[in-house]
Chain A
């Protein structure tokens, strides 16, 4: 197996507080690698550095062997990295389908195209509807994004991640704020995607993580204290002490 993503010795501090502390992590091709950790462990800071909205103080981020540590976010997207957001981060002013179509449009080179109305471009609209159907939002496609529920927004995030057809998906707490039933549906949805893309999943929901992950890394105070299969992590004493033991 080859590593899709390799993170080496990543460091990032904010005003003396180390949010990321010598962080090492590998995501193998096709695996679903989950990162868990208590609140404030630096999960979102880590993902921001992986997608390029924050630049680490030191260390390297390699995507398929290429150093992307300082690459701008939109360039990483071109290489094949996409992310979803923990706090729903959609374009509320636009329709559900518009949001997905934009993600599809992003894959077709530049968008300095001024003449044709974007909403009449059949393949973008059709593919957008397909993806929305896949996440169970077929009948919501033409609604205003703002009118959808939180659970539906979470699923839109997945549709957008799928639209990018990225090799590597960084999913930032897709279960955040979901009810039990919705969580189960999301797990089912992610199971359907798993294997087709490499996924780095950041998640609080332990049931979901242990149901989905091939490997799990535990992040505490910006540092990975253990990596292994779900069973290994369950049995790891340091992890239990630092994290699971709290609950």
Chain B
């Protein structure tokens, strides 16, 4: 085993801190921090999934919140029918339905929209992913049975084999393990032959085509994997918040996910986790400023975002490792 890089150490330290600190706070009577960490870890999974296509694939998806929302509704809708009847086929709390449904629906949505989006490039791609996410947003708004604009309360959480999601520690354990799996999966994919093609297509699509790679098919596959992974994060988020609404799919949420990936360091393993951490901490600190500054927290946040784009290239992971990324 070669000596670990500086970035490898950061990854290790961050993950150990995330594994240990929140449960300790919880056991010490500070449940709030576990809640915060649960949200952080779930958002980190979504950001990790986005990083696969944005960071490694160079595909700037501005619609990833739609996958989070669809994943959450794939939990909320069966739970709703389980309580209120109707749609017997899916009216259950079983994780054997919820999780495959969340992953399956988002994978399908990614496939169908990806078929169209990936025919386009650059700014078209950004806008089209955004538009499709907005389409899902309006779709959910239009369905009154599931609360429309007002959202949907998830009365009972998903029932899983090894985890009782009503217990905060077990909820957190599942989310954290899921993050580890997500990180491992993305790392494996990125380093595989498939991943080399994906990254090659980011660097030089025309060259990849003349080498004999059908870049469209590879990108579409990555897009579907990313969407499904993000849908899974959505299923966790629905279970965590127990309240879901179209607002989860608002394009501001997609923008925040992008912010996490870029701030943390696109195309690095740990970058999205760092980004999600900074985002959650910023949101928490800025919004708890004394009145009236707290309610205007998005103003400094927005300024920060502009400054980050203008001055920090390569994200935090790039800063720490002291190496030029681009």
Residues of A within 8 A of B (CB): 51-53, 72-74, 76-78, 82-83, 85, 89-94, 98, 101-103, 105-107, 111-119, 121, 160, 164
A111 touching B197 in the complex, CB below 8 Å, given contacts A90-B204, A93-B202, A118-B191: yes
Taking CB atoms, residues of chain A closer than 8 Å to B203 are: 91-94
Among A73, A115, A118, contact of B210 (Cβ-Cβ < 8 Å) = A73
User: Of all chain B residues, which has the CB nearest A79?
Assistant: B212
CA distance A164 to B212 in the complex (A): 9
Q: Are B193 and A116 in contact (CB under 8 A)?
A: yes
Q: Are A103 and B209 in contact (CB under 8 A)?
A: no
Contact mask for chain B residues 183-201; partner A; CB cutoff 8 A; 1 contact, 0 none: 0000011011111110110
Q: Are B211 and A106 in contact (CB under 8 A)?
A: yes
CB distance from A53 to the nearest CB of B (A): 6
Among B191, B199, B207, B210, contact of A117 (Cβ-Cβ < 8 Å) = B191
Among A51, A93, A101, A111, contact of B218 (Cβ-Cβ < 8 Å) = A111
Q: Are B210 and A51 in contact (CB under 8 A)?
A: yes
Q: Are A111 and B213 in contact (CB under 8 A)?
A: yes
Candidate in B191, B192, B206 with the most chain A CB atoms within 10 angstroms: B192
Q: Are A89 and B204 in contact (CB under 8 A)?
A: yes
Candidate in B197, B211, B214 with the most chain A CB atoms within 10 angstroms: B211
A106 touching B212 in the complex, CB below 8 Å, given contacts A93-B203, A117-B192: yes
B287 lies within 8 A of chain A by Cβ: no
Q: Are A83 and B210 in contact (CB under 8 A)?
A: yes
B242 lies within 8 A of chain A by Cβ: no
Taking CB atoms, residues of chain A closer than 8 Å to B188 are: 114-115, 117
CB distance from B187 to the nearest CB of A (A): 9
B221 lies within 8 A of chain A by Cβ: yes
A98 touching B210 in the complex, CB below 8 Å, given contacts A93-B202, A115-B188: no
CA distance A85 to B209 in the complex (A): 13
9 intermolecular pairs with C-beta atoms under 8 Å apart: A73-B206, A76-B210, A78-B212, A91-B200, A94-B196, A102-B197, A113-B193, A114-B188, A118-B191
Taking CB atoms, residues of chain B closer than 8 Å to A51 are: 210
CB distance from A82 to the nearest CB of B (A): 7
CA distance A83 to B202 in the complex (A): 19
Taking CB atoms, residues of chain A closer than 8 Å to B189 are: 114
Taking CB atoms, residues of chain B closer than 8 Å to A106 are: 211-213
CB distance from B221 to the nearest CB of A (A): 7
Taking CB atoms, residues of chain A closer than 8 Å to B221 are: 112
Q: Are B192 and A115 in contact (CB under 8 A)?
A: yes
CA distance A102 to B211 in the complex (A): 8
CA distance A94 to B213 in the complex (A): 17
CA distance A202 to B41 in the complex (A): 55
A107 touching B212 in the complex, CB below 8 Å, given contacts A85-B207, A91-B203: yes
Q: Are A90 and B192 in contact (CB under 8 A)?
A: no
CA distance A113 to B197 in the complex (A): 10
CA distance A241 to B279 in the complex (A): 68
CB distance from B240 to the nearest CB of A (A): 29
Taking CB atoms, residues of chain A closer than 8 Å to B208 are: 74, 102
CA distance A239 to B199 in the complex (A): 45
Candidate in A91, A92, A106 with the most chain B CB atoms within 10 angstroms: A91
Q: Are B204 and A116 in contact (CB under 8 A)?
A: no
Q: Are A114 and B211 in contact (CB under 8 A)?
A: no
User: Of all chain A residues, which has the CB nearest B196?
Assistant: A118
